[in-house]
Structure 1
Amino acid sequence: MSTLSNRIRELRTEKELTQEEFGKLFGIVKSTVSLYESGKSAPDDEIKKKIAKYFNVSLDYLMGVSDVKNPYINDKDLDEVDKFLLELKKEAEKEGLEFDETSPQELIETYKLLKEFKKRTKGD
């Protein structure tokens, strides 16, 4: 299991936030964020709640107790995801691509690759 410091760093970098940007969101300075991420200090409970709420994760996930980011997803959210996946499947099939909606991890990895590609080509 991850630690609180690892989860804070992971969540911050997933959103492509600098330590300074992260700190501004929660009213703390960059050096405090660095202390959190190195495990030399820990946020108080109020900051933990704000971090969890901002990143839409449970406190258990943030604290490293669980690897499930948000166990409280409701049916309405799932309906929207299902609609999105069906639409994505239709679009992929129009392009002659195979799409297996039972493998969301592959979709996530593909999205990350595309995002990285866009970032690299933007700089050229």
Structure 2
Amino acid sequence: MEFGERLRDLREEKNLTRHVLASKLNVSYSTVSKYETNIRFPDKETLVALADFFDVSLDYLLCRSNIRDTADKTLSKCKEQFLVSSSRNSYSTNEDLSPEAIEEIEKFKEFLQHKYRKK
């Protein structure tokens, strides 16, 4: 998947037209169209605005990850799950975890691997 397709998918998920998204970003309709067809690439400020607007990570927006959540969201979810688990004094094994909890752990693991990978 390329950036343009990801942007189009996010826009369509919110049922927005290109005109409406262009207005929110203070760019022209044709600029959004060029982003979505990979003819043009947004500058840094526009990328951040897009990620904030769609509430996704920059890595997700740029197709570097399939994890939508921002780092803050991911950490918050993990912290919440840890606190709930700790408050019950349950140090569960994977068999005791719901599929959703296991998925969150895997997402957090992927996030940490991406964050701390060797360059």
TM-score by length of 2: 0.61
1:25 matched residue in structure 2? 24
Q: Deviations over 1:62-107 (max 9, x none)?
A: 000000001532139968xxxxxxxxxxxxxxxxxxxxx957xxxx
SS at match of 1:28: coil
Q: Distance in 2 between matches of 1:21 and 1:57?
A: 19
* RMSD over aligned Cα atoms: 2.3
Q: Deviations over 1:21-63 (max 9, x none)?
A: 0000000111111000000001111000000011110000000
Which stretches of structure 1, 4 residues or longer, exceed 2 Å deviation after superposition? 75-79
1:53 matched residue in structure 2? 52
Q: Distance in 2 between matches of 1:19 and 1:77?
A: 37
Where in structure 2 are the equivalents of 1:70-109 lying within 5 Å?
70-72=69-71, 73=73, 74-75=76-77
1:106 matched residue in structure 2? none
Q: Distance in 2 between matches of 1:6 and 1:75?
A: 28
Seen in structure 2, the aligned counterparts of structure 1 residues 77 and 11 have a Cα distance that, compared at 3 Å, is: farther
Q: How many aligned residue pairs are there?
A: 82
TM-score by length of 1: 0.59
Contact 2:55 2:70 in 1 (8 A): no
Structure 2 unmatched ranges of 5 or more: 82-97, 101-119
